[in-house]
């Protein structure tokens, strides 16, 4: 066998395709499993194919040992015509799904719904039943071990009382599912509230960071403004000094020019205090323009002019 699955349920095998390993052809679909009620083993199964309304139906029988692999939707088998039909064994029980589950004390416990099979050996490792009445509508299925089974008949299964009293849940019913939903909602509420608190804390941290950043930027802007004011003041003072120097230079040049025209000495005179450009503090004062009255020199006297005089 090349079976990889550990266990599989009866309900998962019924109606599964059967493929011949030698020809890769489909020989039918599983329609019945043969259970040995004494050893709690599946000794074989049958498949059927074709036919409409039961006409022309072809049936095949296989032992469990003929199974090569069990896939998700198909079973691959090795067909051997010499294998004895296991259906002829006197220990084979009729299909037991739907059998009444009855305790040895005579109390109905429920109804058989499924059973679990070990894929390597075909051994039944558990029987699944559901409680009778309203409990069966709201509860899940329960598990019975082969040791809990006293006997298997054509219509019912007899089980020991303690197996029902200490029944082991196998699948969840409506009550369990509702309880789980309530727990999930509770967990989700707790998680959601935790997430909200985290978001609020994160928003507070972001607000504090933003406030700190605004204060930092404001400080930088204030420092930048003071620096610009200092630069402007220094620039203004520098411009004033340059203007004063330029005014003095122009005044000196003007004085020299006038003195040259008069033929006077070009020695640098001391300007009156009122004409010196004072150094401003911040505001630049207009340069003082020194006005000179240009006096034309009289032409030299000649003898003719003296006689005329």
pLDDT in tens, 75-106: 999 997 666 666 656 678 878 999 999 999 99
Q: Is the pTM of this model over 0.75?
A: no
Q: Assess whether 124 and 147 both reside in one domain.
A: yes
Q: Does residue 308 sit within a domain?
A: no
Q: Does residue 302 sit within a domain?
A: no
Q: Assess whether 16 and 63 both reside in one domain.
A: yes
For the chain, the distance separating the N- and C-terminal CA atoms, rounded to the nearest angstrom, is: 161
Q: What CATH number corresponds to the domain at position 83?
A: 2.30.30.240
Question: What pLDDT, on a 0 to 100 scale, did the predictor assign at position 1?
Answer: 58
Q: Does residue 291 sit within a domain?
A: no
Q: Assess whether 59 and 75 both reside in one domain.
A: yes
Count structural domains, the chain. Answer: 3
What is the extent of the structural domain holding 252? 173-264
Enumerate the H helices of the chain as residue ranges: 10-13, 133-138, 161-165, 174-262, 303-308
d(CA 222, CA 154): 99
Q: Does residue 21 sit within a domain?
A: yes
Q: Assess whether 242 and 166 both reside in one domain.
A: no
Where is the domain boundary, 152, 172, 192?
172
pLDDT over threshold 50, residue 294: no
Q: Does residue 309 sit within a domain?
A: no
Please, are residues 296 and 290 in contact by the beta-carbon 8 Å criterion?
Answer: no
d(CA 150, CA 85): 27
d(CA 291, CA 261): 15
Question: What pLDDT, on a 0 to 100 scale, did the predictor assign at position 192?
Answer: 66
pLDDT over threshold 60, residue 277: no
Q: Assess whether 45 and 84 both reside in one domain.
A: yes
Q: Decide which of 239 and 35 is more confident.
A: 35
Nearest by Cα to 69 from 121, 135, 1: 1
Q: Assess whether 143 and 216 both reside in one domain.
A: no
Q: Does residue 292 sit within a domain?
A: no
What's the chain's average pLDDT? Answer: 76
Where is the domain boundary, 41, 56, 88?
88
d(CA 27, CA 20): 7
pLDDT band of residue 64 (cuts 50, 70, 90) is very high
Of the listed ranges 88-92, 110-114, 210-214, 275-279, the least confidently predicted one is: 275-279
Please, are residues 127 and 97 in contact by the beta-carbon 8 Å criterion?
Answer: no
d(CA 4, CA 121): 12
């Amino acid at each position: 066998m090349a079976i990889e699955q550990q266990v599989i349920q009866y309900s998962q095998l019924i109606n599964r395709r059967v493929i011949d390993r030698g020809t890769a052809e489909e020989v039918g679909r599983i329609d019945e499993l043969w259970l040995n009620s004494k050893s709690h083993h599946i000794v074989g199964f049958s498949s059927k194919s074709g036919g409409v309304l039961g006409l022309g139906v072809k049936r095949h029988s296989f032992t469990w040992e003929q199974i090569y692999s069990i896939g998700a939707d198909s079973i691959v088998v090795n067909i051997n015509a010499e294998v004895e039909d296991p259906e002829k064994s006197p220990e084979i029980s009729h299909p037991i799904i739907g059998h009444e589950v009855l305790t040895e004390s005579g109390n109905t416990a429920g109804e058989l719904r499924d059973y679990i099979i070990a894929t390597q050996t075909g051994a039944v490792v558990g029987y699944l039943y559901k409680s009778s009445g309203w409990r069966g509508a709201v509860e899940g299925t329960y598990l019975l071990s082969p040791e809990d089974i006293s006997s298997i008949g054509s219509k019912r299964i007899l089980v020991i009382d303690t197996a029902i009293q200490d029944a082991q849940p196998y699948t969840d019913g409506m009550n369990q599912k509702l309880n789980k939903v309530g727990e999930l909602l509770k967990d989700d509420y707790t998680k959601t509230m935790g997430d909200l608190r985290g978001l609020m804390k994160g928003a507070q941290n972001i607000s504090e960071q933003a406030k700190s950043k605004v204060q930092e930027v404001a400080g930088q802007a204030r420092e930048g403004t003071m620096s610009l004011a200092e630069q402007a003041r220094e620039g203004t003072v520098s411009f004033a000094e340059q203007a004063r120097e330029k005014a003095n230079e122009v005044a000196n040049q003007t004085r020299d020019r006038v003195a040259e025209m008069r033929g006077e000495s070009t020695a640098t005179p001391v300007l009156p205090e009122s004409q010196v450009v004072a150094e401003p503090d911040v505001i630049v004062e207009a340069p003082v323009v020194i006005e000179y009255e240009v006096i034309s020199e009289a032409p030299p006297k000649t003898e003719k002019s003296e006689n005329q005089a």
